[in-house]
Amino acid sequence: MAVEFDVVVVGGGPAGATTAGLLAQRGHRVLVLERELFPRYHIGESLITGMLSVFDELGVTERLERVGFPRKNGLSIVWGKNRDLWNVNFAEIDGPYDYSFHVRRAEFDEILLDHARELGVTVVEEATVKEPLLENGRVTGVRYEAGGETTEARAPLVVDASGQSRVLSRKLTTIEWAEDLRNLAYWTYFEDTADLPDGQLGNILVERVSHGWFWAIPVETETRRLSVGYVTPTASLVSGGPSIDELYEAGVAESKQLKRLLLGAKRVAEFRSTRDWSYRSAAVTGPGWLSTGDASGFIDPLFSGGVCLAVLGADAAAKAVDTVLRRPDLADRALAAYAAGVHNMVSSFLDYVRFFYDPTRDREDYFEQARSMADFNERYPNAREAFVAVISGRLAMSELFRIPGAEEEPALTGTVEP
């Protein structure tokens, strides 16, 4: 069987659903192929504010508000030379978004994908993409399996939004690992946990211990459910040394803030784990394709930036794809601008995360480093505010993803005539 669309998107997570929804809004015929049947479990539960403007553009914000996900106000952190607790809130810098959400990803991702469907996207779940279709080195579609049938979906552009599976990217480009960030995460859920004190309520807690760090994310208010994850270098697990369970237990015992939250709490889920997630694809575009979200790269979860980078990247991907489809004469420029934007975004996050992992620094160093990052220096001369801007995900996206020549073209916005 064969079908034809303007764009085929592989993966219906935040990157895929956002790219697809924005392209449908611009009048394109979009097919999303998603391997799972939603709702499905996913890690990545604490969201920052940087991508909320994209949700406004999609028209999905009110729906997300209605679910009643716990509000995230900022970050409470124990880190660096000094083990004191310090707090920063999104509201400390000017802007329309004072808070974000801690989400149960199964529900959150389902809302985004349903919303894309309502915007006119054709979504096929339980559809596993097997390989790209290639003609003279150009991607012209994908081959996928659903319900025991194999189908060829063809389109002038294919978007790889398949997350860490990198379904197309793994065949079309190579991967660059951040060797110094080869970490492992081990997490579970607790209920009947205690709250952070006033002033920190609604924050994610990030607490450093000897061999790693913990996240504590309040994902459900009624049951006082906390997602508690431990991140440690893969190298901490040596044969004959402590097991990951022992490291987790020892870390909780050593912690000051986390231990208080877990006093009298009960564990309500099995442990899950994942490793080696800091990488980027050497190429994020090529003839007939581009990648976005985790498929194009992901850097350590330390600042809870993954969904934000995926959604901002998807926004830029949608603009690039729209330009390619409407103005083939600008296609090369659009794709080059997109590739440079993704590269800059991932690089600046990577540089900052590396700086932060250096245990010899203290809070003022982290603030100052944030202030010295190219664009922030001018926009946020105050170092603490620059730090809040970094951890909010304000990455000057419009400049990162400017498509030279496209902005003076009014024809590039609005709906395509049928």
Ligand X SMILES: Cc1cc2nc3c(=O)[nH]c(=O)nc-3n(C[C@H](O)[C@H](O)[C@H](O)COP(=O)(O)OP(=O)(O)OC[C@H]3O[C@@H](n4cnc5c(N)ncnc54)[C@H](O)[C@@H]3O)c2cc1C
Using CB under 6 A, list all residues that contact ligand X. 10-16, 33-36, 42-47, 128-129, 161-163, 165, 167, 185, 274, 277, 293-295, 298, 301, 304-308, 310
Residues 219, 189: Cα–Cα separation, whole Å: 9
217 vs 406, beta carbon nearer ligand X = 217
Residues 356, 365: Cα–Cα separation, whole Å: 9
Least distance in angstroms from the C-beta of 327 to ligand X: 27
115 vs 326, beta carbon nearer ligand X = 115
Distance, C-alpha 156 to centroid of its chain: 26
Least distance in angstroms from the C-beta of 135 to ligand X: 21
Least distance in angstroms from the C-beta of 301 to ligand X: 3
Contact indicator for 211, 247 with CB cutoff of 8 Å: yes
341 vs 412, beta carbon nearer ligand X = 341
Least distance in angstroms from the C-beta of 60 to ligand X: 15
339 vs 406, beta carbon nearer ligand X = 339
Q: Which two tokens mark 24?
A: 């449908």
Least distance in angstroms from the C-beta of 44 to ligand X: 2
119 vs 185, beta carbon nearer ligand X = 185
78 vs 205, beta carbon nearer ligand X = 205
* Tokens 């764009």 sit on residue: 7
- What phi, psi does 241 have (nearest 5°)? -90, -175
Least distance in angstroms from the C-beta of 158 to ligand X: 12
Residues 9, 6: Cα–Cα separation, whole Å: 10
Per-residue DSSP letters for 291-306? E-GGGTEE--GGG--H
Residue 194 Ramachandran class (φ > 0 left, ψ -120 to 50 alpha, else beta) = beta
Contact indicator for 290, 317 with CB cutoff of 8 Å: yes
